[in-house]
Chains A and B, each alone.
Chain A
């Protein structure tokens, strides 16, 4: 019987393999298929729910595998994303600084520095930078970033310096609003360390909301910094009229929470800015000095005055 079946199989095989596609056995196969097709179709439809159940199990297992693989990929890519974001932020800050330098700040011999430490409390009123005395950084040097004024140097070491931000309670910056001549002092707002208050504006002066507050290029005393005129500080958010003079609330333009790269305006020895700094430092203690003319003069030559 076995031999018979094997021989039959071999005969079928040989005949089928040897004949053309239009041969009898091929025809028989097609006829069989046309008979079986409706049954097969019906069986397919009837068995679809069973197939779906099996497929659901298979796809679930496959999806779990894919999920795990994707999670691994996310874990792998996350550090790269963080690094890329940090690089991008740094690049944007450097680009802004470059644009600022094009506007005349370069006369102050800016030294690019990286912020290496920030005050650990939520106020972020001081930061530490990686440039110090060998780089020409001195106490009271203004510190800026691409957006505007950031603060001033308060302590210098050989390998770094500490910078007080404009929101620090010890800070006071001579400023003016927009293109007007109305000047005042910008200080941190009590109780709101992320906002500033510009005081001592003329009583009859009414600035508009949204106007820009910039450095005036004047100093308030020997311990003040020589900020170049026209550096962006913030925007007027509201006007207070409760006292003899007008004061305005100012929101800082610079994002002081995300400082990565800054520039210290070192005013190299022999430069006009440096000479003015020396003059200011020699002023009698307690005497206030205002030098708008010098500021204007320096501004017109691309420098700054205090």
Chain B
């Protein structure tokens, strides 16, 4: 797991989480899109993990999940558990692979949303909610994932814009940049 992030980043993430949770509850949840509602909270957790690493991702996931459960009077700890895992895995993806493709946020957002929806449903079933696995439920999961994938890219731009000033410099990126600027990775420099 990565080191503890700087305080500035933590404050920014905390403020952003509060705003996003209330925006989600007050606006996004009430505006259906193609028959489903977008859920920005798993996207936020995944993107924070992708930008700030596994530690920040996991803690943000736990905190955002707890906030959601407290605010919506849901089973306490349920969303926290699912979001913690999402935040952690997103952070690990950055730490291990550091994907730079333009579509990375889209794919991460899609996977995070699907994980959140499926994970939440599974947990509810495990806890003994008396509901059948119906076609409607599967449809809602697919539609919700689809809608979240659509909003993932613009939301990623917003989150990155708000956090990038406080993000710590990644040592691996620094090394890579230095190698390119000093010609460390150039075949010509190797030849000499």
Contacts and interface: CB of A to CB of B under 8 A. Distances in A.
A12 B55 CA distance: 20
A22 B83 CA distance: 27
A16 interface: yes
A33 B73 contact: yes
Nearest to B61: A5
Contact of A54 (B25, B27, B62, B65): B27
Given A13-B76, A36-B71, A51 B88 contact: no
Given A17-B127, A58-B31, A25 B76 contact: yes
B81 A6 contact: yes
Nearest to A51: B27
B27 A1 contact: no
B164 to A, nearest CB: 24
B38 to A, nearest CB: 10
Interface stretch (A40-48, A201-209, A236-244): A40-48
Given A1-B55, A9-B65, A39-B22, A29 B70 contact: yes
B148 interface: no
Contacts, number: 86
B77 A13 contact: yes
B71 to A, nearest CB: 6
User: What range describes how many residues of A lie at the interface?
Assistant: 20 to 34
Contacts of B78: 9, 13
A28 B66 CA distance: 12
B113 interface: no
B54 interface: yes
A13 B75 contact: yes
Contacts of A16: 75-77
Contacts of A43: 22-23, 26
Contacts of A1: 1, 55, 58-59
Contacts of A29: 69-70, 73, 76
B168 interface: no
Contacts of A14: 77
A6 B26 contact: no
B138 interface: no
A58 B33 CA distance: 7
Interface string B15-52: 00000001101110011110000000000000000000
B90 interface: no
B30 A10 contact: no
Contacts of A39: 22
B62 to A, nearest CB: 5
15 contacts: A5-B84, A8-B77, A9-B84, A11-B77, A13-B76, A13-B77, A13-B78, A15-B76, A29-B73, A36-B71, A43-B26, A51-B26, A51-B27, A51-B31, A58-B33
Closest 9 CB pairs of A and B: A12-B77, A13-B77, A9-B81, A16-B76, A54-B31, A9-B80, A32-B70, A43-B22, A9-B77
